[in-house]
Amino acid sequence: MFCTFAPKIFFTMEFTAQQIADFLKGTIDGDSKVKVSDFSKIEEGKPGTLSFLANPKYSQYIYDCNASIILVNKDFNAEREVKATLIRVDNAYESLAFLMSVVEQSKPKKTGISSRSEISEDVEIGDNAYIAAFVYIAPGVKIGNNAYIHSHCSIEEGTQIGDNVVLHANVNIYKNCVLGNNCIIHSGVSIGADGFGFAPAEDGVYKKIPQLGNVVIEDDVEIGANTTIDRATLGSTIIRKGAKLDNLIQIAHNVEIGENTVIASQTGISGSTKIGKNCIIAGQVGIAGHLHIADGTIFGAQCGLANSIKEPNQMYMGSPAFNLKSFQRSSIAFKNLPELQRITFDLQRKVDALQTLNK
């Protein structure tokens, strides 16, 4: 196969405030003709760029910001004059994300298959694919349309990959795994490695249990760099539609992550645990195996969970994790422990003194 890369194109897109407001269905305060061609943070705004204000903590920066256009929520009330043109929208952060997505999608895409990749003869590859140098694709693999596979990826036997999937450099997908449409897999991710399955023998030696299942990743999932998702012992480890996984996460064998659940970095989920949809799991959370987590559950950072959660839409903190309100009350008591200890010691000395007098 020969590489047929698209030519490299340099271009600048420039839009007026009116064009952006029309696109976002927003309203303008200021010069509707001012133009921008790039983005900037509100604390580092530059002329010719578009910035945004969504978090009230950053309100102080809007008054001295040099950005030409700033997206704000419709209910924003300025305390003094703002130099920039404001575009008022329902949700400034969501509108910014939408604009950035449009700009990203408009950039020219590479197409073609590098002659330095190794692709087996019976691999099926859809239209408009890009496959970089040093990619290995094993027999029986099926890849959908508009796939974007970067250098040094390895895709093993029988794996199926949907349309519009992006695999960044050094992604490894083991045999018979399934990826849905519109998935983004970042560098260093491992999908389908053996689960941590060992059985202790009478002599104390651990015998490996063959891991015969696979990993199924549904549509619209994004997985951060160096995250690992183990294959099932039997059946499938499943990441449901719309889930978002941060960098450096461990998903063990036979785990199921529900739709639109988000998980932050350094979280570990043990084998066969089922997590519901629309859950939020903060960083460094540890979840034991064979648990069921209700829909809408929120775990704060460094939670440790050893029991199932049955009631939906509750927030938990601490290790072991317990309900947020109870955690907050316990935290107050914990912070007062040194003073309580001092009071206890003083009382003990007084009791000892009284006992001595009564002898």
253 flagged as catalytic: yes
CA distance 86 to 44: 17
- Given the residues 150, 168, 186, 253, the one annotated as active site: 253
Using an 8 Å Cβ cutoff, are 257 and 243 in contact?
yes
**DSSP per-residue string spanning 19-45:** HHHHHHT-EEES-TT-EE-EE--GGG-
Cross-strand pairs, 274: 256, 292
- Sign of the Cα torsion 289, 292, 295, 298 reads negative
Asked whether 168 and 247 are in contact (CB, 8 A), the reply is no
Neighbours of 217 (CB within 10 A): 29
- The answer to whether the beta carbons of residues 141 and 121 sit under 8 Å apart is no
CA dist., res. 131 & res. 142, Å (int): 13
Neighbours of 313 (CB within 10 A): 12
CB within 8 A of 144, min separation 6: which ones?
A: 126, 161, 162, 163, 164, 165, 181
Check if the beta carbon of residue 122 is closer than 8 Å to that of residue 159. Answer: no
Sheet holding 38-39, edge to edge: 27-29, 85-89, 69-73, 49-53, 38-39
The residues annotated as belonging to the active site are 253
